[in-house]
Every structure is written in C-alpha cells, then in structure tokens.
Structure 1
Amino acid sequence: MSKQQIRDIIDRRLAQDGLVDSGITGVQLFRVTESVRCTPAVYEPSLIAIVSGAKEAILDGRSHVYDSERYMACSMSMPVEAGTPMASPENPLLGVQISLDTKTMTELVLETERAAGPIRSPKAGPLPQGIALANWDDFFTDALLRLVQLVEDPGDTAVLGEGRLREVYYALLKGEAGESARRAFGVGNEIARSIEYLSAHLDDTVTIDDMAAQAGMSRAVFHRKFKQATTMSPIQFVKSMRLNSAAMNIASGMSVNEAAFEVGYVSTSQFSREFKRAYGQSPRQWGTTHRPAVLA
C-alpha cells in the first residue's frame, strides 16, 4: 500500500515528463513516458527508487534492471550506460531520485557502527560493487513514503525534510545495499575516496599512481581492489568516466572542443578517435543524433 501511495503522490505532482525538485535538498521526483535506449552517463552517489516501470543501467557490459521490486543504490561515481527502454505513456516510469550526501552518510555509518559496538575494520574479502540492487523492505518503503509525503506541504518540507531524508539513508544502510554503502562512506572507503578525487579532477591529468596515493595503497593492491569494487581496471574506469561525461556534455549542446578539454584531453584528434572507438560515432555525429535524457 505504501508503494501505491508514493506513486499516487508522484502522479499528482508530475502531469508531464520531467525531473523536478521536491523542495528537499537532493530529492527529486521523476516521470518518463518515452522509451530511451541506454546511452553513456555518469551515476553520482545516489539512490533511485521506482514505483512504476523499470530502468536499466549497464556497467562494464553487465545489465542491471531495477523496478518497483528492487531499488538501486550507487555509492560511488560510476560510468554507466543508462536508459528507459520500457517506458511508454501506458507504462510510465515513476520514481524518486535521492543524492547521497557524503557528510550525512558518513556520520550515519559511524553512528550505526558505534551502536553495534566498537568500530572494526571491514573483514577481508571482495569489495561490494559501486552499484547495488536491493529488494524493497517494509522499513525502506515506509521511510520513503514519509519523505515523499512532505512534498505536498511546503511547511512540513522545511521543518521535517532533513530528518526524514536521514531516515531514508538509515533504511538504505539497514537494507540489502547497506554493505556497499558502508564500505563507500565508512571504514574501508579508500576506493570510493580515490574515485571522488578523480571525479573532482576530470580536467586534470590524473594517473593511476595519483589515485593509488589517495587510497593509501601500492599500485598493485589498488588495481586489485579497484577492480573488485567497480568491475573495471583503473585505466578503463578513468577513460569511461571521461568519455561518458563528454558524451553527456555534447548531447546537451557543448562543442566538441569544449567537451574534450572539460574532461582532460589536450588533443581533440585523440579525443575524437577514442570517442568513435567507444561509441561508434564521431563526437559531431553524436551531437546531432542524441539529446539529453530526462533522467540519466
């Protein structure tokens, strides 16, 4: 019932396709009725909960489909291909997109660790991937409903928004995607920290040694743990982040030269070669055949 109530609220708020602010920082509601095939995108740390329809994200060739049965938690910036291939006027995609604030998430991870006992280093073993899917549970569903209900009253939003958003964050940490989030925002977040550094310096020459230094690891150890967390080698990841960001900028109207320089390329010819190798079109062709998606 709670899920249907969330859908009804989004239906009332969004008569047309779009991504709209809820009035709560970092929380947006969306509606999509157009089928859009997967195209390059960059997922920032976020949570996406869908109450109608389905969405697809492709990471390193592997498809992740999430819908009203499973929500998506992205705990680190990740280069993906994303789309809404099943959306239609008869089957609209409706949901909530929530940015994960680093400061608040870190505070919550530490608080939950303290409540459970002394903080311990994470157990050895493979790192969870940066993208995790989790089944909706009652605690998460109820927390999300209480958050979304606020959008119908600006006064309630202003007074209660921050607290109810924090409750949704806590529900995420308690759910099936919690381990991935805890590793990104709490103890053992070295890989997430290196990705955050890269995301803030896409226009600079960032080497693998720079990223390993941010993580406090040797190059060999960093390479192994990075691939566990992202499924990609650091070199693949850096290139994908740069090209995906450039593709999104070009689709939004940025010139090819500007897009290349924006993500750290000093040679537009090299950028064009690598872009065409990745996407099968030159950057200029891409700009004429793609437009920005309502929802990345």
Structure 2
Amino acid sequence: MSKEQIKQLIASRTNDDGLTETGIKGVRLFRATQSIPCVPAVYEPCIVAIVSGAKEAILDGHRYVYGDSQYLCCPMSMPVKAGTPDASPENPLYGMFISLDPRAMTELAMEMENAGAILPVNKGDLRAQGIRLVKWDGDFTDALLRLLHLGASQTDTAVLGPARLRELYYTILKGEAGIFARHAFGAGNAIARAITHMSSHLDEAISIEELATRAGMSRAVFHRKFKQVTTMAPIQFVKSMRLNNAAMKIAEGKTVNEAALEVGYVSPSQFSREFKRMYGQSPRQWSEAQKLPITVA
C-alpha cells in the first residue's frame, strides 16, 4: 500500500513529463508518458526509485532494467545511457531521483560504524559494477513516503526535509545496498576520489599517471582497481564521461564547438571522430536528430 501512496503523491505533483523539484535539495520527482530510447547521460551519485513502469540504464554494455521491486544505486559518477523504453500514456512511468551527498553519506556510515552497526553482507561482486540494482525493503519504502509527505507544507519541507533525507540515506546504508554504498563512500576509497576528481575536471588535461600517484598506486595497480570498480579502463572512462557530457550539452542547445571545448577537447576533428565512433553519428547529425529528454538524467 505504501508504494501505491508514493505513486499517487508523485502523480498528483507532476503535471508534465520530466523532472519536478520537491523543495528538498537533490530530491526530484519525474514522470514519463512516452517511450524514450536509451541516450547518453551522466549519473552523479544518486538513487533512482520507480513506483510505476520500468526504466533502463546501460553501463559499458551492461543493461539494467528495473521497476518497483528494485531501485538503482549509483554511488559514484558514471557515464551511462538511460531511457524509458516502455512508457506510454496508458502505462506512465513515475519515480524519484535522489542525489546522494558524499559528505553526508560518509559521515552517516562512520556514525553507524561507531554505534556498532553491522552492515548486511552483499552477495554480489563489488568489483564488477559501477551501479547496482537493490531490493526495496519496508524501511526504504517508509522513509521514501515520509520524505514525500513533506511536500504538502513548505514549512515542513524546509524544516524537516534534511532530517527526512538523512533518514532515507540511513535506510540505504543499512539495507541491501549498504556494503556497496559504503565501499564507494568510504574515506579510504581512492578510486571514488579519482572519479570525483575526473568528473569535476573534464575540461582540463587528465593524466592517468597523476591520478595513480594521487591514489598512492602504481599505474598498473590503479588501472586494475579502477576497472574492477567501473568495468572500464581509466582512459575509456574519461572518454565516455566527456562524450556523454558533450552529447547532453549539444542536445540542450550548445553548439558542437562549445560542447567540445567544455569537456576538454581542443581538436574539433578528434572530437567529431570519437563522437561518431561512439554514437554512430557526427556531432552535427546528433544535434539535428536528437532531443535529450530531461527525464533520463
């Protein structure tokens, strides 16, 4: 019944397709009533919870399709393709997109550890995924509903929003996603720190040697550990992040040259060549043919 209540609340507060702000930082609702094929996106640390319909994400060829029995957990920035292939007016998709604040998640994980909390054992392979589908549990559902109930009052939202969001973070860390999220937000996770650095410096030259040194690893060890966490080699990851960001910028109205420069390409011909190799179209063809919906971001 709680999931049905969540669905009704989202439906009542989303008048159009796309993202709707809730007044709580990092918490947005979304609706989709048309089929959208998977297109380039960049997931910052977040969870995506669907209460009606199904959503799809693709990371390095690995396909994740999820509905209201699992939510997507992405604790580090990841270049993905995402879409809503089955959405329609008769079968609308309703869901929530919730950013994960790394500082808050790390502090909460440390508090749980200091309090003697035993995080659940995760049977999956932490080394082979940058994102994971996680089973909904009752605590997660209740925390999500309590967060949504605040939307009826601006004052409640402003005063209680941060506490309710912290409660939701807590249910994530103590649930099936606990070990996976803790692995990403742990203070000693050099790969997570490297990804954060890459994501915020895409417009600059990125040296894998420098990243390895910052992580306190040899280049070979850094390469191996990075691929274990993200499924991609560091150079491939940087290229995917740059091209996905560029594709999004172009679809939002940036010129091809502006988008290329903003993600670190100084050679237009190299940008066009690598863009076409990844997406099968030149940047200009993409600009003319694609409209990137906000709902997939």
TM-score (norm 2): 0.95
- Kept after mapping to 2: 8 A contact 1:52/1:92: yes
Alpha-carbon distance, 1:130 to partner: 2.2
Question: Is 1:209 aligned to 2:209, yes or no?
Answer: yes
RMSD: 1.4
| AA aligned opposite 1:26 | G
Alpha-carbon distance, 1:187 to partner: 3.7
- Kept after mapping to 2: 8 A contact 1:57/1:80: yes
Distance 1:153 1:6 in 2: 16
Matches of residues 220-231 of structure 1 in structure 2 within 5 Å? 220-231=220-231
- Kept after mapping to 2: 8 A contact 1:38/1:83: yes
Alignment partner, residue 63 of structure 1: 63
Matches of residues 239-254 of structure 1 in structure 2 within 5 Å? 239-254=239-254
Alignment partner, residue 195 of structure 1: 195
Alpha-carbon distance, 1:117 to partner: 7.2
* Unaligned ranges ≥5, structure 2: 119-124
| Identical amino acids, percent of aligned pairs | 63
Give the count of matched residue pairs: 290
> Aligned to 2:249, what secondary structure does the other structure show?
helix
Alignment partner, residue 74 of structure 1: 74
Matches of residues 51-130 of structure 1 in structure 2 within 5 Å? 51-116=51-116, 127=127, 129-130=129-130
**1:211-255 deviations in whole A, cap 9, x for unaligned?**
212322111111111111111111111110011110111111111
Alignment partner, residue 171 of structure 1: 171
Distance 1:269 1:79 in 2: 22
Shifted more, 213-222 versus 63-72: the winner is 213-222
Alignment partner, residue 50 of structure 2: 50
Alignment partner, residue 160 of structure 2: 160
| AA aligned opposite 1:101 | D
Alpha-carbon distance, 1:128 to partner: 6.0
> Aligned to 2:81, what secondary structure does the other structure show?
strand
Alignment partner, residue 122 of structure 1: none
- Kept after mapping to 2: 8 A contact 1:47/1:97: yes
Question: Is 1:278 aligned to 2:278, yes or no?
Answer: yes
> Aligned to 1:57, what secondary structure does the other structure show?
strand
Distance 2:16 2:82 in 1: 21
- Kept after mapping to 2: 8 A contact 1:31/1:94: yes
| AA aligned opposite 2:275 | F
Alpha-carbon distance, 1:266 to partner: 0.7
Distance 2:196 2:162 in 1: 24
Runs of 4+ in structure 1 deviating by more than 6 angstroms, as ranges, are none
TM-score (norm 1): 0.95
- Kept after mapping to 2: 8 A contact 1:28/1:97: yes
Question: Is 1:291 aligned to 2:291, yes or no?
Answer: yes
Shifted more, 212-221 versus 248-257: the winner is 212-221
Alignment partner, residue 218 of structure 2: 218
Distance 1:64 1:100 in 2: 20
Alpha-carbon distance, 1:180 to partner: 1.6
- Kept after mapping to 2: 8 A contact 1:129/1:180: no
Distance 2:114 2:225 in 1: 26
Alignment partner, residue 237 of structure 2: 237
Question: Is 1:143 aligned to 2:143, yes or no?
Answer: yes
| AA aligned opposite 1:262 | E
Alpha-carbon distance, 1:154 to partner: 1.1
- Kept after mapping to 1: 8 A contact 2:126/2:180: no
| AA aligned opposite 1:57 | A
| AA aligned opposite 1:73 | C
